[in-house]
Structure 1
Amino acid sequence: MKFKVEILPNYRLAYVRRVGPYGSANIEVMEKLKKWAKEKNLSAIILAIQQDNPETTLPENCRFDACIVITEDYQMDDSICEGELAGGKYLIYEVKHTAEDIQKAYAYIFPTLQSNGYQIDNKPILERYTEDMVNNHYCEICVPIKQL
């Protein structure tokens, strides 16, 4: 599986959070975000962020954020949360946007990080979507890294 290294900027985000086991319920959160963005005439980069490692966090405590990147001057209202994502160095893997292909990608990524000279940085892994990617049924898995 091919990857590229990219330096992501700091992003200002509007987001909807769900706390509970990761899975199909995350889709509802993403749909809520998309509905909000459409009402506000926003279209930009969408991020799906699993904030916690399900191997070390109880399922009922796992946080999932559906986010859209907003400009610095965008005026927020109280209908949605606001946050920031710290940028940095990421490995970017483009994958088909199916549950099976995403699962295969995650199974591939972690064992091969060290052999490529990287380790995961202490930031969440992101799934990144642009309108063009969504239309073509792709997404990017963005893994925060640092050199070994």
Structure 2
Amino acid sequence: MLEDIPKSRIAYLRRTGPYGEANGVQMESFTSWAGANGLLRADSTILGIARDDPARTPPRDCRYDTCLVLPDDAEVRHPEVLQTRLVGGRHAVLTAAHTSVGLASAWADLFGGLTAQGLTFDATRPVLERYRPCMLAQHLCEICVPVL
């Protein structure tokens, strides 16, 4: 499925180190903080952004951002939580099981699937792991790949 993801304001917490279980621990901590500070709502969108290709970047240097899409009027007050704008744009969206095996499988098949559909990955924008309550209730999440 193709989707035009809108530009949006995000709050994020960055972790540097090997991808894997620690990303999930950070996600739990970040969403707990967001909930306790009134930023997490029933319709909120959480994003995970792996900033580096682990095939090209040493694991100790891989960056992972846990993000929350913010309404324009939201105020963020935490010394480690930063804010930026998500560029948005056209994305191929793949639904995956919200498990380590489901996500690993989706990531492994991702770029071959784009080619088969005649789509080109836009390496100037990050791939997004998108978590929305309605999907998580079904143990699903989405991988949103920027395409030209």
Q: Deviations over 1:77-133 (max 9, x none)?
A: 234211221111100011111111111112222112122111110211111011111
Q: Unaligned stretches of 5+ in structure 1? A: none
**How many Å separate the matches in 2 of 1:112 and 1:130?**
23
In structure 2, which of residues 8, 15, 18 is the aligned counterpart of residue 18 of structure 1?
Answer: 15
1:29 aligns with 2:29: no
Percent of matched pairs sharing the same residue: 38
Spell out the pairing of 1:93-132 with structure 2 (5 A cutoff): 93-122=94-123, 123-132=125-134
Q: Report the TM-score when normalising by structure 1.
A: 0.91
The equivalent residue for 2:78 is 78
Aligned length, in residue pairs: 143
Displaced runs of 4+ in structure 1, greater than 2 A? none
Q: Which has the higher strand share?
A: 1
Asked whether the 8 Å contact 1:15–1:81 carries over to 2, the reply is yes
**How many Å separate the matches in 1 of 2:138 and 2:115?**
31
Q: Unaligned stretches of 5+ in structure 2? A: none
* Partner AA of 2:121 in structure 1: I
The equivalent residue for 2:88 is 87
Specify the SS of the correspondent of 2:107.
helix
**How many Å separate the matches in 2 of 1:87 and 1:56?**
25
The equivalent residue for 2:54 is 54
Q: Report the TM-score when normalising by structure 2.
A: 0.91
